[in-house]
């Protein structure tokens, strides 16, 4: 046991940013991660223009961001339409492997003074008080060698991703019955026609994202709602590509590198981002859909908001006030974007709505361009 004020569970973007902000303010913060780092992460690997700006505001520049691929917009296609939507001239997205991006952010948190341990799996909250008045007072965790232990803390930030054990144990999050979507991703070489644009190919029942991550490697993610055909993750992805008239030829010569990965169900609903003693950040506070490619930005903002709420609570001594304060801040800062993301998720889930949107995009492609800019936090 060590003396800490705040435990942060999970060293993804939300956890590392929360730990960094707290450590810079002089708070004793312990950031823990269940994997060894750098760890792989199934993701489209795009850091959108809004996220790039938020990182800059935090003074987080350089590192792997310097050498990342610059993306100047998105190519969005449906079976009938293809629209190239560029970001405003001063804005770019970056494409780089999440393993190196997340590792760099964790490093920044450590450099700011956060204590960090990997191979520490949080198993649940440490509760104090009785039912009705219970509050989270730290975490129970297991080290890589199987040793169980507890770590008390004034506040705990759950940044442990979509399947957050802390959010679930506190009864805050769950996978909704609908939509049920799964993601399948792999890296490949030799994709024809990649440019300095991200790509989103929306089809009935599924969509495919492509991003050039440098060195001639392309990240391909397939998100599908139905039980997909295929014996392996790569087989699922290849079948989708082969059945697609726009992607078939472009990917015919591609060769996979590294291990393909799958995860799901994707959506996570969360009613409120905390209870006394516990604050949620990033995907742990809910996940809508990868389509908009803004998860990292929401995680960065969510980590910052959770750290700010924690700082105020520690300063005022009103620990129970942290969760309501975070809830109000998230509603003000992220509320409209999350509503937009849910609307977009419904849209791509409805064949009729997609048809109407496809026709609309043909007649007025400017509308789709504005949507893409808003989705990329580049408006
Ligand atoms: C297919 C797909 C494609 C996507 N593409 C994009 C994209 O291109 N751009 C974008 O911005 N977003 C994208 N997203 C969303 C993005 O990946 C997430 O929103 C983002 O990673 C959330 O960050 P986080 O810090 O909340 O969680 P995570 O990045 O998931 O980090 C959580 C961390 O907690 C650790 N952890 C989990 N459980 C425990 C535990 N019990 N104890 C300790 N540690 C634990 C995990 O190992 C992990 O390191 C995509 C998502 C999917 C599924």
The pLDDT tens digits for 88-109 are 988 999 999 999 999 999 999 9
| Whole-number pLDDT of residue 227 | 78
Cβ burial of 287 (10 Å; 0-12, 13-18, 19+) is buried
CA atoms within 13 A on the CB side of 303: 34
**Residue of the nearest CA to atom 31 in ligand 1?**
12
Residue ranges and CATH numbers for the domains of the chain are: 6-44+98-173+267-346 (3.50.50.60), 46-96+182-263+349-379 (3.30.9.10)
Q: Which atom of ligand 1 is nearest to the CA of 263?
A: 53
Q: What is the pLDDT of residues 260-297, one digit of tens each?
A: 999 999 999 998 999 999 999 999 999 999 988 999 99
Q: Which two tokens stand for residue 225?
A: 């709602």
**Residue of the nearest CA to atom 33 in ligand 1?**
10
- Determine how many CB atoms are found less than 10 A away from the CB of residue 351: 9
Length of the chain: 379
| Whole-number pLDDT of residue 355 | 67
CB-based contacts of 363: which residues, under 8 Å, 6+ apart? none
- Determine how many CB atoms are found less than 10 A away from the CB of residue 68: 22
pLDDT along the chain (379 residues), means of 10: 90 98 98 96 97 97 96 91 88 96 98 98 94 90 95 98 97 92 97 96 93 96 88 97 96 96 95 96 96 95 98 96 97 95 85 67 77 86
pTM exceeding 0.85: yes
Ligand 1-lining residues (CB < 6 angstroms):
9-15, 32-35, 39, 41-46, 48, 121-122, 159-161, 165, 183, 185, 221, 223, 263, 266, 282-284, 290, 293-297, 299
Whether 136 contacts 109, CB under 8 Å: no
Comparing CA positions, the residue from 373, 375, 378, 298 lying closest to residue 84 is 373
CA of 293 to the centre of ligand 1 (A): 12
| Whole-number pLDDT of residue 228 | 87
CA of 46 to the centre of ligand 1 (A): 13
């Amino acid at each position: 046991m060590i003396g800490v004020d705040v435990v942060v569970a999970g060293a993804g973007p939300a956890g590392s940013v929360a730990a960094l902000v707290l450590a810079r303010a002089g708070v004793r913060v312990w950031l823990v991660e269940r994997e060894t780092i750098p760890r792989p992460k199934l993701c489209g690997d795009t850091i959108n223009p809004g996220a790039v700006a938020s990182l800059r505001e935090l003074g987080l520049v350089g590192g792997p961001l310097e050498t990342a691929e610059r993306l100047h917009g998105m190519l969005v296609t449906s079976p009938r339409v293809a629209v190239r939507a560029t970001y405003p001239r001063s804005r770019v997205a970056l494409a780089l492997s999440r393993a190196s991006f997340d590792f760099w952010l964790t490093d920044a948190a450590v450099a700011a003074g956060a204590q960090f341990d990997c191979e520490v799996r949080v198993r649940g909250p440490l509760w104090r008080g009785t039912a009705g008045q219970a509050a989270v007072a730290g975490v129970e965790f297991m080290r890589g060698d199987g040793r169980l232990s507890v770590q008390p803390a004034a506040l705990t930030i759950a940044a442990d991703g979509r399947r957050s054990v802390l959010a679930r144990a506190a009864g805050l999050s769950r996978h909704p019955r609908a939509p049920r979507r799964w993601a399948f991703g792999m890296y490949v070489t030799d994709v024809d026609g990649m440019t300095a644009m991200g790509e989103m190919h929306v089809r009935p029942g599924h969509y495919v994202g492509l991003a050039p991550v440098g060195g001639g490697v392309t990240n391909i993610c397939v998100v599908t709602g139905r039980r997909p055909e295929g014996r392996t993750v790569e087989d699922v992805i290849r079948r989708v590509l082969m059945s697609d008239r726009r992607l078939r030829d472009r990917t015919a010569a591609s060769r996979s590198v590294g291990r393909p990965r799958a995860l799901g169900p994707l959506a996570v609903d969360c009613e409120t981002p905390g209870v006394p003693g516990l604050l949620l950040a990033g995907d742990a506070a809910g996940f809508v859909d990868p389509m908009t490619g803004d998860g990292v930005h929401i995680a960065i903002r969510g980590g910052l908001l959770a750290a700010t709420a924690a700082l105020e609570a520690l300063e005022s001594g009103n620990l129970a006030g942290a969760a309501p304060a975070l809830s109000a801040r998230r509603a003000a800062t992220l509320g409209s974007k999350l509503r937009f993301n849910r609307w977009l998720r419904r849209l791509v889930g409805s064949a009729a709505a997609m048809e109407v949107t496809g026709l609309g995009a043909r007649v007025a492609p400017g509308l789709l361009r504005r949507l893409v800019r808003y989705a990329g936090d580049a408006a």
